[in-house]
Amino acid sequence: MDKYRLVTFVQRRIANPVIRAALQRGVPLPGYALLETTGRKTGRPRRTPVGDGLDGDVFWIVAEHGRRSAYVRNIEANPCVRVRVRGRWRTGTAHVLADDDPRERQRKLARLRLSARLNAAAVRSFGTDLLTVRIDLDV
């Protein structure tokens, strides 16, 4: 089994359901946030745990599988998203930044807090095609 299939299996079947359920119930998990996109085929809300990339009124995500990530494809189809970060839902508009350096973005986020450093290490370890997503949050 290749790295992408193994990582996505573990995330989809084991890690993400547990983390998503905790976040949806309001359990604070330092370093995590919940991204809500609109399904590109179904039009239904899709919620995915992501690293807490909040920096003021901008939320950053480094997608570990790039455009293979379902939430990235959903964003490309409809950039209107919500993020539940630190117990609060915030709406915004997402932008896929193909020309941004995701490793440098992670270094910048890691300077903000320890949990970002831990998330960055996991994304680099498990990722196959890093891609930066910027969400401009509504104020």
**40-68 pLDDT, tens digit each:** 999 999 999 999 999 999 999 999 899 99
Average confidence score pLDDT of the chain:
88
Q: Is the dihedral of CA 9, 71, 136, 44 positive or negative?
A: negative
Domain ranges for the chain, please list them: 3-137
Q: Is the pLDDT of residue 113 over 90?
A: no
Q: Could you tell me how many helices (H) and strands (E) the chain has, helices first? A: 5, 7
Reported residue count of the chain is: 139
Model pLDDT, residue 138: 97
117 has a pLDDT exceeding 70: no
Q: What's the CATH class of domain 3-137?
A: mainly beta
β 131-137/58-63 pair status: antiparallel
pLDDT more than 90, % of the chain: 54
Q: What is the distance between the terminal CA atoms of the chain, rounded to a whole angstrom? A: 44
Angstrom distance (rounded) from CA 51 to CA 28 = 13
